[in-house]
Structure 1
Amino acid sequence: MKEPFMLGGGCLVSYLLGSLHGVQIVAKLLRLDLTTIGSKSWTGTNLLRAVGVRAFIMAVVVDVFKAFLPTYIAIVIWHEPWQVILVGTLSIIGHTNPIFFHFQGGKAVSATAGMFFALSIWYSVLWLAFPAALGVFLALIILTRIVSLGSMLGTLSGALVITLLSLDRSVPWEITVWVGGVVIYIWWCHRENIRRLLQGKENRFNAIRW
């Protein structure tokens, strides 16, 4: 009987940690309303555009760590992939729908990275997806100066690598299914960016402040 309560408690704690939205915390410390700037969204990209690299790094560290921590703890406590994935995913849901910030959050990328870092400690073969994801992400930013495009196609590239790894059962099927689902969720969170991309109106980077 204790197991369901422990798992439920882990999910709740993970969601609450995920709701500590790093971008909004940093922005509010700087007395900055990102809904009036750039893409008008509470995202790391918009914070980077509005303030600069240092504020962006602080926010990303918070958003990555808050998903890494509950996922890693879940790995230590539970040994079934589906339990770990369930707990970790709640931190991503908290990131995109933070209860502490009126359910206005980010677009799942940094929190997904934090959860994936923890899963990669558990299954080290997952690290092979990072070069593909990071390479596509950086290449598209350099070529197009559009971060949303790099984020979406970068995560898709990483997911394709993991799918290939799962063919010889190096990766549990639960993680492969989760990766597919989280990519769809990231793209759904970027639906406004996709609309602007199709219209040729998506924001591009120019100069970046430190």
Structure 2
Amino acid sequence: MLPRIICLAVGYVCGLFQTSYIYGKKSGIDIREHGSGNAGTTNALRTLGKKAGALTLLGDCLKCVLAVVLARLLFGGHQETDLLALELYAGAGCILGHNFPFYLKFKGGKGIAASVGLLLAFDIRIFPICAVLFFATFFLTHYVSLSSLLAYLGFLISVVVFGQMGMLDCTQPVLWEIYGLSAGLTALAYWRHRQNIVRLVHGNENKIYLGKKR
């Protein structure tokens, strides 16, 4: 249990690096007081432009990669059977730190960019599945929220399928733990997007166009 708590704590500390908030402060604004009020990639893109959006995506992605790598360095030598679970705990901690930073009164982002980093570091084979789901949905609908939610659902399904096919190289008890964590992260993403879901249902969700809208 202690290694799991350590990984959660390490991840949470990594997640406290709020890229969009720091970028916004350098530009003289608090990103949480503009646009959707969310300290994440989409709001940075809408409020501060493409450069801010790209840097936020990169920064939030890399901090989750760092969290997973630190877990691997700390426990990779003597916890091989549980290592994948420990990496996921670190990623989950990073997403929690991103979403609920204590020094910003627990008002952060929604964890999607950080989750991209988790995908890259946790199991690179799942990343293209989620990427295809995200971009196919985005270019068809231009809804970032819907694209993110479907990609997260793809993540959960892929983890379970990979695990049951023996592709994650874990014992069954560890697999159940990984499934539970993955389901918890997916539920958190849907909860953080609850207002977006309401707007999607009512047909008034904001769209994002990467180029000039025709």
Name the TM-score, length of structure 2 as normaliser. Answer: 0.83
Matched, 1:63 2:63: no
Q: Which residue of 1 aligns with 2:149?
A: 152
Q: Is the 8 A contact 1:39 1:203 kept in 2?
A: no
Question: How many correspondences in the alignment?
Answer: 200
Q: Is the 8 A contact 1:48 1:208 kept in 2?
A: no
Match of 2:200 among 197, 201, 208: 197
Distance in 2, Cα, partners of 1:92 & 1:206: 26
* Change in CA separation of 1:205 and 1:83 when aligned onto 2, cut-off 3 Å: closer
Q: Which residue of 2 aligns with 1:39?
A: 36
Distance in 2, Cα, partners of 1:130 & 1:166: 15
2:126 alignment partner, SS class: helix
Deviations 1:113-165 (A, max 9, x none): 22232222xxxxxx332222111111111111110010000121232222211
Distance in 1, Cα, partners of 2:6 & 2:157: 33
Q: Is the 8 A contact 1:136 1:157 kept in 2?
A: yes
Deviations 1:68-112 (A, max 9, x none): 112111112212233333233211110000122221111111112
Q: Which residue of 2 aligns with 1:93?
A: 96
What pairs up with 1:134-149 in 2 under 5 angstroms? 134-149=131-146
2:125 alignment partner, SS class: helix
Letter in 2 for 1:115: L
Q: Is the 8 A contact 1:34 1:40 kept in 2?
A: yes
Match of 1:117 among 120, 125, 145: 120
Structure 1: gaps of 5 or more residues? 121-126
CA RMSD in angstroms, aligned pairs only: 2.2
Q: Is the 8 A contact 1:159 1:179 kept in 2?
A: yes
Match of 1:188 among 164, 186, 191: 191
* CA displacement at 1:10 relative to structure 2: 4.7
* Deviates most, 10-19 or 56-65: 10-19
Task: Tell me the percent identity.
Answer: 28
What pairs up with 1:4-15 in 2 under 5 angstroms? 4=2, 8-15=5-12
Q: Is the 8 A contact 1:109 1:151 kept in 2?
A: yes
Distance in 2, Cα, partners of 1:83 & 1:21: 23
Distance in 1, Cα, partners of 2:70 & 2:32: 34
